[in-house]
Amino acid sequence: MLQGCASKEPLIRTETVEVKVPVLVRIDPKLTVREPEPDLPAGPVTNNDVATLIDALRAWGRGMAGKLEKIERLQPEDVP
């Protein structure tokens, strides 16, 4: 007869096992809002309108780049 089978005590062992589970956190909604792209005004367009649009597009692009940089800083470093 096997030694374990002859024992009257149950062979149950309680053990705590730590399991690492990734925690997902929602990104701040302000960082995911898509601002509308600047556009030229309706009607005849002047050189000043084009220059104003270029400045607005640059500011719009810098704003999006800033949001992406903030999102990047929020990412955990140990995730591939």
One DSSP character per residue, 9-75 reads S----------------PPPGGGT--PPPP-PPSSS--HHHHHHHHHHHHHHHHHHHHHHHHHHHHS
Q: With contact defined as beta carbons under 8 Å apart, do 33 and 70 qualify?
A: no
In the DSSP assignment, the letter for residue 3 is H
pLDDT digits (tens, 9 = 90+) for 10-66: 778 889 999 988 888 888 888 889 999 999 989 999 999 999 999 999 999 999 999
pTM above 0.75, yes or no: no
